[in-house]
């Protein structure tokens, strides 16, 4: 469904990604892990057209999207929920969900059905529809950010650190929602600092270090392998549990 081959990307003259290749097949959860600064967010931005690759090729659902503008990529069904929930905090939950379908024409019935699907995925949002988004907890805001993307019925959803700053029970809910989406045949590309938890729910995994993919394979194999540990060992020898920003408020 999504295939990136030999992608380079960066900021100005600074090259961040070097020769990155990844594949996400339909209905699979693929997790991308690596320490802070490894280039995970840069890769998602390269795939969603926010930061165009300087070389390499990206195809999605049979089309070359390497140089496609972000709106065309969204239209093709590749949605990116960026790090740090970008919501309209003063607007209601309902309005924020509406904003998710900006520019999209839906029949009354389709619209109703999509909102209903969102409510089934995140029942708490049904109860909070009229409240300002800014009044939601961090976890609920993350759910709302995902809900916004769901209004477009993505074929592939890229999530950048959805568990960041969430209480454990909410992390469970977000991960459970990701599993539900997979059951609905939505492919997921997940960037996650909660490495062990993410590897438990993922089908495939890629480990990034210094802008490169250092290893990839079935998530269970990656979880058991040595490369994962190596990727989280810094120059200062920091073990990965201090790297992972688990439980950060």
Ligand X SMILES: Nc1ncnc2c1ncn2[C@@H]1O[C@H](COP(=O)(O)OP(=O)(O)O)[C@@H](O)[C@H]1O
The verdict on 40 binding ligand X (CB under 6 A) reads yes
Which contiguous run of DSSP H or E holds residue 30?
Answer: strand 29-33
Scanning the structure block, which residue is given the tokens 């300002």? Answer: 132
Binding mask 159-198 for ligand X (x = CB under 6 A): ----------------------------------------
The verdict on 11 binding ligand X (CB under 6 A) reads yes
Which does residue 234 touch among ligand X, Mg ion, none (CB within 5 to 8 A, set by kind)?
none
In the structure encoding, which two tokens stand for residue 170, read together?
């909410």
CA atoms of 214 and 217, how far apart (whole Å): 11
Which of 3, 19, 36, 242 touches ligand X (CB under 6 A)? 36
The verdict on 38 binding ligand X (CB under 6 A) reads yes
Which of 9, 32, 35, 41 touches Mg ion (CB under 5 A)? 41
Q: Report the DSSP pairing between strands 78-81 and 156-160.
A: parallel
Stretch that binds ligand X, among 8-16, 114-122, 135-143, 221-229 (CB under 6 A): 8-16
Task: Write the DSSP string, 153-191.
Answer: --SEEEEE-TTTT--HHHHHHHHHHHHHHHHTT-EEEEE
Nearest alpha-carbon partner for 181 in 205, 199, 165, 159: 159
Stretch that binds ligand X, among 31-39, 136-144, 180-188, 219-227 (CB under 6 A): 31-39
User: In whole angstroms, how close is the CB of 32 to ligand X at the nearest point?
Assistant: 8
Residue 71: other Cβ atoms inside 10 A = 11
User: In whole angstroms, how close is the CB of 169 to ligand X at the nearest point?
Assistant: 25
Interacting residues with Mg ion (CB under 5 A)? 40-41
């Amino acid at each position: 469904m999504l295939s990136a081959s030999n992608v380079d990307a960066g900021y100005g003259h600074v090259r961040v990604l070097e020769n990155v290749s990844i594949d996400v097949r339909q209905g699979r959860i693929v997790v991308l892990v690596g320490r802070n600064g490894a280039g995970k967010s840069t890769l998602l931005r390269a795939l969603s057209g926010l930061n165009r690759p300087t070389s390499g090729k990206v195809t999605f659902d049979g089309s070359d999207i390497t140089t496609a503008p972000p709106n065309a990529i969204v239209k093709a069904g590749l949605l990116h929920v960026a790090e740090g929930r970008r919501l309209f905090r003063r607007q209601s939950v309902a309005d924020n969900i509406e904003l998710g379908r900006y520019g999209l024409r839906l029949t009354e019935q389709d619209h109703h059905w999509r909102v209903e699907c969102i409510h089934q995925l995140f029942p708490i949002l049904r109860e909070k529809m009229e409240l300002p988004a800014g009044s939601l907890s961090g976890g609920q805001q993350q759910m709302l950010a995902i809900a916004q993307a769901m209004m477009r019925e993505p074929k592939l959803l890229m999530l950048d650190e959805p568990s960041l700053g969430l209480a454990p029970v909410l992390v469970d809910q977000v991960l459970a929602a990701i599993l539900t989406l997979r059951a609905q045949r939505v492919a997921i590309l997940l960037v996650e600092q909660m490495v062990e938890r993410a590897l438990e729910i993922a089908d495939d995994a890629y480990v990034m270090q210094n802008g490169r993919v250092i290893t990839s394979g079935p998530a269970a194999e990656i979880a058991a392998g040595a490369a994962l540990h190596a990727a989280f060992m810094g120059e200062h020898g920091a073990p990965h549990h201090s790297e992972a920003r688990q439980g950060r408020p």
